[in-house]
Amino acid sequence: MRGCLPTTDRDWFDFLSKQSGLEEANFWQPSGSRGFSLDPGSPVFFKLKAPVTKIAGFGSLSRHTVLPHRLAKA
């Protein structure tokens, strides 16, 4: 079974860690037009950006959706 190791921001990780009863989290990649080659249920390990550079969490892939960048604007 294949998995992935995306890099995530420490502030985003800390924010998600403080959420009570969190069962899912959304992550995005700036080059989201590329296909995502993992099957649902595949392991995902989240590595913090430098200077920490350690695996900070894990989960399993539920689904992947490619959306237009205009939806990411808040």
Domain that holds residue 50: 1-16+40-62
Is 31 contained in some domain? Answer: no
Q: Is the pLDDT of residue 45 over 60?
A: yes
- In whole angstroms, what is the distance from residue 67 CA to residue 28 CA? 10
Is 47 contained in some domain? Answer: yes
Which pLDDT belongs to residue 51?
Answer: 92
Distance linking the first and last C-alpha atoms of the chain? 36
Number of domains forming the structure of the chain: 1
Which pLDDT belongs to residue 35?
Answer: 61
**Span 50-70, mean pLDDT?**
86
The dihedral region occupied by 30, where left means phi > 0, alpha psi between -120 and 50, and beta the remainder, is alpha
Is 2 contained in some domain? Answer: yes
**2-41 pLDDT per residue, tens:** 898 988 889 988 998 899 988 887 777 766 556 667 889 9
Which pLDDT belongs to residue 47?
Answer: 94
